[in-house]
C-alpha cells in the first residue's frame, strides 16, 4: 500500500513500504510531514526537488528529519553552495540521468521539463512507478500567446511526454500541474499527458488556490480511461493507494 499526503502546492509526501518520499517541499501549513515521519520511524527518507523555483524548493528541507538517514535527489539547476556538505547524502540529476542506488527505489530516472529543472520517475522495488512532473507542462496562455508560441510550447511538451511514454509502460501514481492561471487551456497539458501515458492514479497539483478547476476532472481527463483521479485540495489531505 502507498499513502499519498498533500503538503501544499506541488508538495507531497508519498509513503511506500520502504520509504517516505517527499516531493517539492514548499510549505506544510498543517505539519503533516512531521506526523508522516513519526508514523514511519524505520523508513528511509528521500527528498526530491525538481528545480530551484521557491514554490518548489525550500532550503528548510535540509533541517527536516535530522535524526533520520536522509537522501536528497536534487535537480542540477540548484546551486550547490546552498546544500549542506555534511550529514546528508545528495544525488544530483539532469534530464536523461538514471540512478539505481537511491534508498527505497529500484531506480530513479530524470526526464526533461518545459520550465526549469527536471521531472522524476521513481521505480519502486516491486516495479511500480511514481511520477512527479515538477514544472513539466504545456505552458502557454491561449488568450495572450501567439499561434506560433502555442504550437512551439505544445511541441516541446509533447517531445518530453513521448519520451516518458516510450520509457515507462505504466505509471502507478502521477502528480501533475493543473494551473488555473493559464486560462482556457489550463488543463491542456494534463489532457495530453493522460492521453499518451497510461496512468493508474492521477493527482493534480500547482493549482494556486483554485482547486475547483483542477478537480473538475470531467473537463480534461479523456473519456474511456481507467485512470482514477484524486482531489487532495487542502493541505494535509491524504489517500491510500493499493
Q: Give the pLDDT confidence score for residue 183 in this predicted structure.
A: 84
Q: What is the DSSP-derived secondary structure letter of residue 153?
A: H
**Model pLDDT for residues 191-223, shown as the tens digit of each residue:** 999 999 999 999 999 998 788 889 999 999 999
Distance in angstroms between the alpha carbons of the first and the last residue of the chain? 5
In order of 43, 81, 215, the CA distances from 57 in angstroms are: 23, 14, 24
Domain residue spans in the chain?
2-241
Q: Are strands 107-111 and 19-23 parallel, antiparallel or unpaired?
A: unpaired
Cβ contact 190:175 at 8 Å? no
Query: Residues in the chain with pLDDT < 70?
Result: none
Question: Which residue in the block uniquely carries the three cell numbers 538517514?
Answer: 69
Q: Give the pLDDT confidence score for residue 142 in this predicted structure.
A: 74
Please tell me the chain's helix, strand, coil percentages from 3-state DSSP, rounded to the nearest 5: 25, 30, 45
Q: Give the pLDDT confidence score for residue 145 in this predicted structure.
A: 79
Superfamily of domain 2-241: Ribonuclease Z/Hydroxyacylglutathione hydrolase-like (3.60.15.10)
Phi, psi for residue 23 in degrees, rounded to 5? -110, 130
Cβ contact 193:202 at 8 Å? no
Pick from 173, 169, 175, 220: which is nearest to 196 by CA? 169
d(CA 81, CA 58): 14
Q: Give the pLDDT confidence score for residue 11 in this predicted structure.
A: 98
Q: What is the DSSP-derived secondary structure letter of residue 99?
A: E
pTM of the model: 0.96
Q: Give the pLDDT confidence score for residue 181 in this predicted structure.
A: 87
d(CA 139, CA 178): 10
Question: Which residue in the block uniquely carries the three cell numbers 527518507?
Answer: 45
Strand order in the sheet with 70-75: 89-93, 70-75, 44-49, 19-23, 11-15, 2-8, 238-241
Amino acid at each position: 500500500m502507498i499513502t499519498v499526503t498533500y503538503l501544499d502546492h506541488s508538495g507531497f509526501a508519498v509513503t511506500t513500504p520502504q520509504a517516505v518520499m517527499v516531493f517539492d517541499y514548499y510549505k506544510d501549513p498543517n505539519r503533516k510531514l512531521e506526523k508522516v515521519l513519526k508514523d514511519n520511524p524505520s523508513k528511509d527518507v528521500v527528498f526530491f526537488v525538481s528545480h530551484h523555483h521557491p514554490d518548489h524548493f525550500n532550503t528548510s528541507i535540509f533541517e527536516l528529519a535530522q535524526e533520520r538517514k536522509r537522501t536528497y535527489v536534487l535537480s542540477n539547476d540548484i546551486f550547490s553552495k546552498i546544500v549542506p556538505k555534511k550529514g546528508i547524502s545528495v544525488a544530483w540529476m539532469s534530464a536523461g540521468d538514471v540512478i539505481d542506488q537511491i534508498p527505497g527505489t529500484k531506480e530513479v530516472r530524470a526526464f526533461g521539463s518545459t520550465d526549469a529543472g527536471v521531472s522524476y520517475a521513481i521505480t519502486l522495488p516491486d516495479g511500480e512507478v511514481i511520477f512527479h512532473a515538477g514544472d513539466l507542462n504545456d505552458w502557454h496562455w491561449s488568450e495572450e500567446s501567439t499561434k506560433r508560441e502555442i504550437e512551439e510550447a505544445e511541441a516541446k511538451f509533447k517531445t518530453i511526454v513521448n519520451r516518458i511514454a516510450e520509457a515507462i509502460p505504466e505509471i502507478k501514481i502521477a502528480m501533475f500541474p493543473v494551473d488555473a492561471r493559464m486560462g482556457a487551456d489550463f488543463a491542456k497539458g494534463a489532457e495530453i499527458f493522460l492521453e499518451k501515458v497510461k496512468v493508474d492514479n492521477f493527482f493534480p497539483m500547482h493549482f494556486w488556490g483554485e482547486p475547483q478547476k483542477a478537480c473538475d476532472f470531467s473537463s480534461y481527463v479523456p473519456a474511456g480511461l481507467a485512470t482514477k483521479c484524486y482531489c487532495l485540495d487542502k493541505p494535509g489531505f491524504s489517500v491510500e493507494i493499493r
